[in-house]
Amino acid sequence: MSDSIAILTEAELRRSVGLDSEALAAVAEAFAALGRGGVVMPPILRLDIVEKNGEMDVKTAYVPGLDSFALKLSTGFFDNPKLGLPSLSGMMTLVSAHTGRVEAVMLDNGYLTDIRTALAGALAADRLARPDAAVAGILGTGLQARLQLEALRLVRKIDRALVWGRDAAKATAYAAEMSERFGIPVQAADAETVVRTADIVVTTTPSRTPLVYAEWLHPGLHVTAMGSDAEDKNEIAPAALAHADLLVVDRRSQCERLGELHHALAAGALKPDHPVVELGQIVAGLAPGRPGPEAVTLCDLTGTGVQDTAIALYAARKAAAEGAGTRI
């Protein structure tokens, strides 16, 4: 047993951890553990700094059987791009589940959060999208919009994509960049066209007004909503959740408080006893996934502490195997 602490920088973590099948498997196992039960995961602690258009979230989860758990601090200051800074930042610490001693401090500036969020989107698509889904639709043009398209390619043969953004110039730039990067046609379009055309839609914005409406949903579509991680954020119109043949969430109690599910319940579009399945239950084999090829499926992901524990533990192991980090 070592008393030293590993300090890992963003650059070191970027070299050790990426969007690949190995990292996806680590996140999938964490969701399965959540689905099986026994995970200790307290509600998110959030601090709002309204006058700065900012927020800070603190997440954690203990997974029985794992040697460590993560404590993650994540910030979102959404005016940062005006200053030439990314909107998201943060750090993670890894703590021994046996002694409570800090084992690692990961100065990732939000990188690991970005990765685990993209991998959750891939996991949702893997379990819920049609096997032959090939057209991706992305709402948003930021970093997560880029990572989500990349992550989708881990689980489906995406041969075309459409993107919408509030800033048309950014949407056009995104389309050109992603088309060149992946060698597939990517085009900018209005939100309705994106949703009506795509097989898989991923929403990646901090929007406070709906971007996706029930009348746009079509047979065979899967939608993953990533952006609603606070009570006032809302990307999916409440009626759209009622329209889904299968409604999936990462954690029901959490989504009832701050996800798209929260808005649908508050608006009366869904009754409190509406059938909702947790993604972890599907991953663990305790609940079925997509009902059939014509079904409309919708997954509400608000981000869970169990994902942070999974990615932090995975990153620590990868970094150690590669000799990365500084021990103090």
Q: What is the CA radius of gyration of the chain?
A: 19
Torsion 206-209-211-215 (CA) sign: positive
Round to whole Å and give the CA distance between 313 and 316. 5
| Closest of 307, 294, 160 to residue 221, by C-alpha | 294
The helix (run of H) or strand (run of E) holding residue 33 is: helix 21-36
Contact 118, 150 (CB under 8 A): yes
Round to whole Å and give the CA distance between 2 and 12. 21
CA 153 → CA 60, 119, 122, 125, distances in Å?
28, 11, 8, 10
| Token code pair at residue 29 | 């196992």
Instruction: Kindly report the number of other CB atoms within 10 A of residue 184's CB atom.
Output: 17
Torsion 128-133-137-143 (CA) sign: positive
Query: Quick one: 245 exposed, middle or buried, by C-beta within 10 A (0-12, 13-18, 19+)?
Result: middle
Torsion 79-81-85-91 (CA) sign: positive
Contact 312, 30 (CB under 8 A): no
Round to whole Å and give the CA distance between 83 and 90. 18
313 half-sphere exposure, CB direction, 13 A CA radius: 24
| Catalytically active residues, by annotation | 72
Cα-Cα-Cα-Cα torsion 180, 181, 184, 186, nearest 10 degrees, comes to -70
| Closest of 232, 225, 250 to residue 55, by C-alpha | 232
CA end-to-end span of the chain, whole Å?
Answer: 14
